[in-house]
């Protein structure tokens, strides 16, 4: 366990077409943990407009997968609490993945904000889920670090700006390198979060959360999807 000054200030970065489980899996864990431990949560985006989930909708205009979807009205949104300009000091930043990360121009502000916050002396942890690692890699701040990402998108993530300087671990459910935690795809973010809760509060706490969620957790080195995508 580590010493934590309460409240633990958590920020979740959002962008159009983030993957639902990348956000709500870890948040389900954190919602339970926050009942016993003092935490704050900020949902942070470029502005305070509703942020679309899994499909790109900007200013009411559909793009990306939604543009050719069989279900154009199957949409969900999340309301941010803060913008990049108004985000408070944070102890933890969590970055999800999703189709929206492939909009390199549309996520430029997100990358710039991550870059500006990475060296904040008050930031204790920078965490990514799935292809959220591509946004962090683009900052150039994790050059020389170990990291992992979604195995279906592994080679694409390795192709983004500055990603060639990262030591990408193909077979890993999640990877820890100092204060940087990165997970494999989608559901792996919840496994990583449970492990992080164990790191902060101990095994009993993380196991209690896992049982409440009825979550069959994989460990850090269990990664069946690396073999599935021929990355071993």
Q: What is the spatial distance between Cα 201 and Cα 187, in angstroms, rounded to a whole number? A: 22
The pLDDT value recorded for residue 72 is 76
User: Is the per-residue pLDDT at 228 higher than 80?
Assistant: yes
The pLDDT value recorded for residue 83 is 98
Establish if 206 belongs to a structural domain. yes
**Tokens 């999800």 found at:** 96
Task: State the pTM of this model.
Answer: 0.95
Establish if 1 belongs to a structural domain. no
Domain of 12, CATH number, reads: 3.40.50.880
Q: According to DSSP H, which parts of the chain are helical? A: 20-36, 108-118, 132-138, 154-157, 188-201, 203-213, 224-228
Q: What is the mean pLDDT of residues 82-101?
A: 97
Of residues 146 and 56, more confidence is placed in 146
Establish if 191 belongs to a structural domain. yes
The helix (H) or strand (E) run that includes residue 63 is: strand 61-63
Establish if 183 belongs to a structural domain. yes
Establish if 79 belongs to a structural domain. yes
Establish if 3 belongs to a structural domain. no
Number of domains, the chain = 1
With a pLDDT cut of 70, the percent of the chain lying above it is 94
Q: What is the mean pLDDT of residues 54-73?
A: 72
The pLDDT value recorded for residue 195 is 98
223: domain range? 8-228
User: Is the per-residue pLDDT at 58 higher than 80?
Assistant: no
pLDDT in tens, 9-47: 999 999 999 999 999 999 999 999 999 999 999 999 999
Q: What is the spatial distance between Cα 232 and Cα 225, in angstroms, rounded to a whole number? A: 9
The pLDDT value recorded for residue 69 is 73
Phi-psi region of 230 (alpha: psi -120 to 50; beta: other; left: phi over 0): left
The pLDDT value recorded for residue 74 is 83
Establish if 2 belongs to a structural domain. no
């Amino acid at each position: 366990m580590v010493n934590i000054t309460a409240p633990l200030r958590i920020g979740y970065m959002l962008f159009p077409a983030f993957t639902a489980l990348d956000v709500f899996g870890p948040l389900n864990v954190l919602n339970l943990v926050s009942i016993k431990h003092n935490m704050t949560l900020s949902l942070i985006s470029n502005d305070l407009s509703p942020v679309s989930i899994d499909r790109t909708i900007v200013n009411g205009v559909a793009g990306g997968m939604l543009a050719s979807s069989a279900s154009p009205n199957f949409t969900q949104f999340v309301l941010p609490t803060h913008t990049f300009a108004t985000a408070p000091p944070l102890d933890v930043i969590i970055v999800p993945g999703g189709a929206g990360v492939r909009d390199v121009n549309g996520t430029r502000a997100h990358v710039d904000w991550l870059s500006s916050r990475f060296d904040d002396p008050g930031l204790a942890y920078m965490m990514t889920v799935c292809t959220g690692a591509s946004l962090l890699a683009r900052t150039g701040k994790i050059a020389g670090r170990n990291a992992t990402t979604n195995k279906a998108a592994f080679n694409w993530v390795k192709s983004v700006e500055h990603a060639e300087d990262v030591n990408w671990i193909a077979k890993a459910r999640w990877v820890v390198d100092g204060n940087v935690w990165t997970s494999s795809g989608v559901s792996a973010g919840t496994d990583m979060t449970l492990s992080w809760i164990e790191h902060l509060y101990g095994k009993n706490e993380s196991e209690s959360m896992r049982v409440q969620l009825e979550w069959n957790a994989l460990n850090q080195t269990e990664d069946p999807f690396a073999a599935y995508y021929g990355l071993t």
